[in-house]
Amino acid sequence: MNATLKKFFGPKRPEPSYPRLPAVTDTGETTVAGLFAVGEIAGTPLVKYGLNEGHALVQRLAPDLKDEAAQEGVLDLLVIGAGAAGLGAAAAAEKLGLSCTVLEANHLAETVYTMTKGKLIFAEPEDVANESEMWFEECTKEELLERWEAQVEELGLDVRTFEKVENVERKSDELVVSSNKGEYRAKRVILAAGKAGNPRKADVPGEVEFAEKIDHRLIDPDLYNDQDIFIYGGGDVALEAAILLADNNRVTMVTIDDEFTYPKKRNIDALMEKVDAGKVDLHFGSHLKEIKADQVVFDDGGSSGSEKTVANDHVFEMIGAELPLKFFDKIGIRLENTWTRRRWAYLAACFLFVYTLYALKSYGKNSPTAWPFEDLVSPSRYDAILNGVFALAFKPFAWIFTQEAYRDILGNRGFQQGYLYSGLYSIIMLVFGWQALVRWRSIARRKSYQTWRYVSLISFQLVFFLIANVFAVKAISVEHAWRAWGLYQPFPLFFNTFFWWGGESHVSVMWFFVIAGLLGTFVMMPLLARYHGKRFCTWICGCGGLAETLGDRWRHLAPKGERSRNWNFQGAVILVASVMVGIIIVGMYQTSGSNIWWSSYNYLVDFWLVAIIPITLYPFFGGKVWCRYWCPLAAWNEVLARWFGKLQISSNSHCISCTQCSKYCQVGVDVMAFAKNQVSFDNRNSNCIHCGICIDVCPMDVLSFDSNGGLKKEALEAGQSQ
């Protein structure tokens, strides 16, 4: 497989912005009934959030637990993990009078325990209150551990450390939890385990034989003086260890990365100062090969590089930690985006439903888009049902038209199909748009942005539904009323703006829509791109509107990572194709669409790529498949915004690499990669659509919109190409 094919089809490399987490419902329940996930394992960052999440979960579970009959020897709750989320849950259970036991495989609060001595833990976000019973304020790690140990004793919490859970099984109406020390029965189980106790290993010779000199975290740098230290890793933990050890030891640092991509900029800068001073011997693109009693062997510069051996007293393997995937598989917890038979069946059902809807909408248009319904349903039967449904749905507006005009409407199958479809579309956007609005208002720090964004999306759809289906019919006839959609969705998104002007077309009507189409594409879009980037996609566009309303609940499932971003070029291809086909139809066929060029574009793009495929994929890959990969108007908007757009998203120095911003980006921008390095991003170095969700989900208030005339030179140089 050559480099180009690898780029698009090769194995997906793990990226820090996109951890794979257990699939959970809105209530936090995993695929094992009665087993809930909270804290780090559920993607919740920060101590305070963990405490609050554990506390809130028990508050939700308590009413049902109290209603269930008590059974001898059966706990109300069993919590796996004594970190922030686990202790928050246990303390809430104690206050509510629920029986609860906590099992911890390592130390109490293992993540905090393994932090570097004297590390300051900030009580962030400052504007979020600690709702739990557990104490938490800004303090050192030692003070936090001391306070929590005392509070566990004071509250009488049943916390059992160094007891590792080995299995969880559902038996009848209870869960049976087996550990290395015993067996427990519980009505509900809360999985609050972190990743600190499951560090990733290099799997090299000597790793087992010389395990006593290998650590995965630097707890006390004062224990190491005048030693030969080997650090294997290229993330923040590895860099921070190298920085702390460099002044009093001889430090060799090896990372498999060709450059630093994971750590924060401040850590990179601090490390490079040590490298420049000769205190750290840094090797990029290298791999650990073997650990010996007093040496370490690594290849310098990859498999083709030279093998090097250095003296060694202690090794720090700092290549990350991972979820206990084998344990998850054993007890039946599935990860997000896991494809099972049930999910494939769900995909097939979604496809059949969406295809049926659009095929029925195309009935009678002498097109393959209506297959097989033109063969299965007679025209008289179809029209009878269509007329009945339409007459009922059009009642609110029928009184506006004369009897003669209304008869024309009832005789126009295409208008009725379009009216019912756009009416259903508008209702869906209204209902699910309201749900999305409520969701993001509850999260957003600055609620006005999301409020006005959803009000704008819904309003444009509802207003143009009336314009295209009522006012334009009254003003210019049912024959041309559909063209009003082109005022809302410029060419090449609304592909037929300049076509089908033969027959009874009025010259004044034709020139109105042609000029309006040209102004929309070449005046309105450039102005919007200049001052608002690609906000058109998330404030105005109907296709983007359906994705942001109906598709919002699945936005976290959008394709992520470098490989998925490599496919973003497709929109530019369709943009070029739309322009070429448009010129051919206008120039060679005098705007008539009765040709293979129009039919092919209509079938491939308007039917499959606009409608069937992306809407089918909403529950599986988020709502922006069409907008991100294939929309020619989004591609045109991005060309303009790259050229002279001013809007960008900037970041401060407070990023904690929690991954939330990247997780909820519907167009796959690795927001965290920019944020942790304080690099601004706009449409020059990303395909951001400026929905603002990344700003709202950030717990540290790192991100903000900024219009400063374009990216600064240093940002352009540092930004990753996406």
496 domain-assigned: yes
586 belongs to a structural domain: yes
Same domain, 629 and 666: no
Residue 334 token pair: 């599935």
- The verdict on 390 and 406 lying in the same domain is yes
Give the pLDDT confidence of 434-472 residue by residue, as tens digits: 999 999 999 888 899 999 999 999 999 999 999 999 999
Residues 239 and 361 in one domain: no
Q: What is the DSSP letter of 116?
A: P
Sheet strands (E) in 244-345: 250-254, 280-283, 287-291, 295-300, 306-311, 314-317
**For residues 182-202, average pLDDT:** 89
More confident residue, 125 or 674: 674
Both 279 and 420 in a single domain? no
| Of 639, 666, 696, the domain-final residue | 639
The residue that leads in pLDDT, 712 or 666, is: 666
Q: Mean pLDDT throughout 468-484?
A: 93
Tokens of 223: 């224990």
455 and 564 share one domain:
yes
CATH of residue 707's domain is 3.30.70.20
Chain centroid to CA 69: how far?
40
What local confidence, expressed as pLDDT, does residue 200 receive?
87
For residues 687 and 710, state if they share a domain.
yes
Question: Do 183 and 41 share a structural domain?
Answer: yes
Beta-strand relationship, 183-191 and 174-179? antiparallel
- Domain assignment present for 11: no
User: Which of 538, 559, 567 has the alpha carbon at shortest distance from 705?
Assistant: 538
Q: Identity (one letter) of the amino acid at 349? A: A
Whole-angstrom distance, CA of residue 150 vs CA of residue 115: 19
Q: Can you tell me the distance from the alpha carbon of 35 to that of 327, in angstroms, rounded to the nearest whole number?
A: 14
Q: What is the pLDDT of residue 716?
A: 42
Per-residue pLDDT band for 606 (boundaries 50, 70, 90) equals: very high
Same structural domain for residues 220 and 187? no
Domain assignment of residue 52, yes or no: yes
Arithmetic mean of pLDDT, 156-167: 96
**Confidence (pLDDT) at 125:** 83
Mean pLDDT of 659-686: 93
In a domain, 200, yes or no: no
**Is the distance from CB of 150 to CB of 87 less than 8 angstroms?**
no
Q: Which residue has the tokens 């920019």?
A: 674
Which pLDDT band, with edges at 50, 70 and 90, does 3 fall under?
low
Q: Are strands 280-283 and 250-254 parallel, antiparallel or unpaired?
A: parallel
Q: Interhelix angle for 141-155 vs 84-95, to 10°?
A: 30
Helix locations, 362-412, DSSP H: 373-376, 379-393, 395-398, 403-410
Q: Give me the percent of the chain exceeding a pLDDT of 90.
A: 79
Q: Is residue 10 predicted with pLDDT exceeding 90?
A: no
User: What is the mean predicted confidence (pLDDT) over 306-320?
Assistant: 93
Asked if residue 105 has pLDDT above 70, the reply is: yes
- Return d(Cα 193, Cα 110) in angstroms, integer: 10
* Per-residue confidence (pLDDT) for residue 461, from 0 to 100: 97
Specify whether 619 is located in the same domain as 557.
yes
How many Cβ atoms sit within 10 Å of the Cβ of residue 444?
Answer: 17
Report d(CA 426, CA 420) in Å as an integer. Answer: 10
| Contact predicate 100/94, CB 8 Å | yes
Domain with 50, as residue range(s), is: 35-191
Question: Is 480 in the same domain as 545?
Answer: yes
User: Of 301, 317, 333, which marks where a domain is finished?
Assistant: 317
Residues 251 and 284 in one domain: yes
Res 720 pLDDT > 50: no
pLDDT band at 479 (very low <50, low <70, confident <90, very high): confident
Q: Is residue 14 over pLDDT 80?
A: no
Is residue 80 within 8 A of residue 327, CB to CB? The reply is no
What mean pLDDT do residues 672-695 have?
93
Domain count, the chain: 4
Domain boundary among 619, 639, 659: 639
Q: What is the mean pLDDT of residues 605-630?
A: 96
On whether both 481 and 597 belong to a single domain, the answer is yes
- Name the 3-class secondary structure at 461: helix
- Number of helices (H) and strands (E), helices first, in the chain? 31, 19
Q: Is the pLDDT of residue 63 over 50?
A: yes
Q: Assess if residue 23 is contained within a domain.
A: no
Residue 196: pLDDT band by 50, 70, 90 thresholds? low
pLDDT of residue 12: 60
**Weakest mean pLDDT among 67-76, 318-327, 480-489, 569-578:** 318-327
Domain CATH code at residue 82: 3.50.50.60
Does 162 map to a domain? yes
When the pLDDT of each residue in the chain is averaged and rounded to a whole number, the result is 91
Grade residue 5 by pLDDT with cuts at 50, 70 and 90: low
Alpha-carbon torsion, ordered 122, 128, 130, 135, to 10 deg: 20
Quick check: 9 pLDDT over 70? Answer: no
One-letter amino acid identity for 554?
Answer: W
Environment class of residue 313 by beta-carbon count within 10 Å: exposed (0-12), middle (13-18) or buried (19+)? middle
Nearest of 471, 489, 491, 490 to residue 481 by alpha carbon: 471
Say if residue 711's pLDDT is above 90. Answer: no
**Could you read off the pLDDT of 144-159 as tens digits, one per residue?**
999 999 999 999 999 9
Q: Is residue 596 part of a domain?
A: yes
Q: 3-state SS string over 300-315?
A: ECCCCCEEEEEECCEE
Q: If you average pLDDT over residues 193-209, what whole number do you get?
A: 86
The β-bridge relationship of strands 280-283 and 139-140 is unpaired
Q: Any alpha helices (H) in 533-668, and if so which ranges?
A: 536-539, 542-549, 562-565, 570-589, 596-601, 613-621, 625-629, 632-644, 660-663
